[in-house]
Structure 1
């Protein structure tokens, strides 16, 4: 991925909120690679919500920087937790995040069965 000018703040570095956008994009790409269609999920009454986000900022990205976004995940009770790293091209850490997601089916919190089934081969 590449930092765009408008993602930077007055100090010339990526604004903190944009790291969350990068992480969200990475989660969506990961889930889509497993066949998840968020529009179809919603039509089926199933919605994923972020319930908690923690981000530690390490070494700022700047306009034009290329970077890599990586993740791994684990089920923690009914929550799917993503552990995410934003990495400079030299491998140094720009930001590290932990994002907890829950699933709601027809307005009711689930025990995460959809995620558990979807990720059974990934979470070995």
Structure 2
């Protein structure tokens, strides 16, 4: 199952050439993951209150084209589980022309009460999406 979020480029996210600074795409990917968690019925605050901390282990990102000020993007996310790792497959598209802007693989691992775990609690929270 795929999750989708629309995000608009704001003025402080572009560089002197008027294009989105590469680091901001990491923010867009994170915003999408956080919003997805709430859509799935949990939040980072709720997870932390239960002693669960999903943390980024690795991000592979490929920049394919650029966004500029005022443009709107579609940020898409799907996920799969590989053992104790949760892999978020994330893509950003320009909503105006459909251009593929970013492709990323984000690997998440889970800490439970400060210790690395197999992520069973997180798997249960995301069971409808795995």
Q: TM-score range by the shorter chain?
A: over 0.9
Q: Does residue 105 of structure 1 match 2:112? A: yes
The TM-score normalised by the length of structure 1 is 0.94
Any unmatched runs of 5+ in structure 1?
none
Q: CA deviation at 1:119?
A: 2.2
Q: Which residue of 2 aligns with 1:28?
A: 34
Count of aligned positions = 123
The TM-score normalised by the length of structure 2 is 0.90
Q: CA deviation at 1:120?
A: 2.1
Q: Distance in 2 between matches of 1:94 and 1:12?
A: 15
Q: Deviations over 1:31-70 (max 9, x none)?
A: 1111112112212211110110111001100011111100
Q: Deviations over 1:54-112 (max 9, x none)?
A: 11001100011111100110001101110001101222101111101111011100101
Q: Which residue of 1 aligns with 2:44?
A: 38
Any unmatched runs of 5+ in structure 2?
1-6
8 Å CA contact 2:8–2:71 kept in 1: the answer is yes
- Kindly report the root-mean-square deviation, in angstroms, between the aligned alpha carbons of the 2 structures: 1.0
Alignment of 1:41-120 (within 5 A): 41-89=47-95, 90-120=97-127
Q: Distance in 1 between matches of 2:99 and 2:112?
A: 39
Higher strand proportion: 2
8 Å CA contact 1:102–1:112 kept in 2: the answer is yes
